[in-house]
Amino acid sequence: MHWRRDVRRFRKDKIVDEKILHRTLSSSFHSAPSVGLSEPWRIIRIDSEHSRQVALTNFQEMNAKALDGYKGGKKQQYASLKLSGMQEAPVQLAIYCDDSTSKGSGLGAQSMTEMRRYSVVSAITLFWLAARSVGLGVGWVSILDPIRLTHDLGLSEDWTLVGYLCVGWPEEDNDTPELERYGWEKRTSVDDMNITSI
Ligand SMILES: Cc1cc2nc3c(=O)[nH]c(=O)nc-3n(C[C@H](O)[C@H](O)[C@H](O)COP(=O)(O)O)c2cc1C
């Protein structure tokens, strides 16, 4: 867990073996908890040149818009960050939540429908750790217009984008988040973690 990182820099000389990818994906998603056992995740591989371009353009436009929201030094710093590995990641996955699934018969999701999406987040976290355990890196990209991406990829409107994941062999292993190394934000120390009793 300590060495899991959000990876945005991938080796260009090493492809991801399909068997390793399949085992990592299937073991993690198969083991994941989900509300009512609804297993609402839908995994889309973004493989074709067209799909990759659609996703990359979406990221570039949303990232430019995000940059506009910063001023001065923070803007300069934001512009210098690498916030996705979409240009080089050999494997790219759009992970959706099927909000309309009947699996689980609504158990646990009637008063809090967002629980299905939280289930997908749980599964992604297991995948992130499983990938790390075999040496693969995963980078989560959220600087996207999800509705436009879903439309442009021709996917169901009942599905909600939860995470766009870049997967590949990392250029390096590191135990410190990249945003901390580049001075954007610091990770809270274990001693400062607040657990409140009420
Ligand atoms: C829901 C979610 C969305 C994220 N979106 C992005 C993103 O769009 N671009 C990016 O560079 N990192 C993204 N990250 C990665 C975080 O920046 C990263 O997890 C954080 O800086 C801590 O670093 P670590 O994951 O290496 O521990 C995202 C992480 C999560 C959990």
**198 residues of the chain, pLDDT tens digit each:** 999 999 999 999 999 999 999 999 999 999 999 999 999 999 999 999 999 999 999 999 999 999 999 999 999 999 999 999 999 999 999 999 999 999 999 999 999 999 999 999 999 999 999 999 999 999 999 999 999 999 999 999 999 999 999 999 999 999 999 999 999 999 999 999 888 999
How many alpha carbons lie under 13 Å from residue 111 in its C-beta half-sphere? 1
Residue 143 in contact with ligand 1 by CB distance below 6 A: yes
Is any atom of ligand 1 closer than 6 Å to the C-beta of 125? no
Dihedral, CA atoms, 144, 9, 130, 192, nearest 10 degrees? Answer: -80
Taking the C-alpha atoms of residue 59 and residue 87, their distance in angstroms, rounded to an integer, is: 11
Q: Which residue's CA is minimally distant from atom 16 of ligand 1?
A: 6
Ligand 1 binding pocket includes 140 (Cβ within 6 Å): yes
Q: What is the CA(105)–ligand 1 centre distance, in A? A: 33
94 conformational bin, left if phi > 0, alpha if psi -120 to 50, beta if neither? beta
Q: Residue with the nearest Cα to atom 25 of ligand 1?
A: 6
92 contacts: CB under 8 Å, gap ≥ 6: 45, 46, 47, 52, 55, 86, 164, 165, 166, 167
Angle ∠(174,177,183) on CA atoms, nearest 5: 120
Q: Are 123 and 35 in contact (CB under 8 A)?
A: no
The amino acid at 194: N
Distance CA 66, CA 38 (A): 34
122 CA distance to ligand 1 centroid (A)?
Answer: 15
**CB of 141 closer than 6 angstroms to any ligand 1 atom:** yes
Is the pTM above the cut of 0.95? yes
Rg for the chain, CA atoms, rounded? 18
Three-state secondary-structure class, residue 65 = helix
From the CA of 81, give the closest atom in ligand 1. 11
DSSP assignment letter at 106 = T
Give the residue whose CA is nearest to atom 11 of ligand 1: 83
Q: Beta strands 41-45 and 91-98: pairing type?
A: antiparallel
Q: Ligand 1: which residue has its CA nearest to atom 29?
A: 140
Residue 97 — φ and ψ, nearest 5°?
-110, 130
Query: For residue 121, how far is its CA from the centre of ligand 1 (angstroms)?
Result: 13
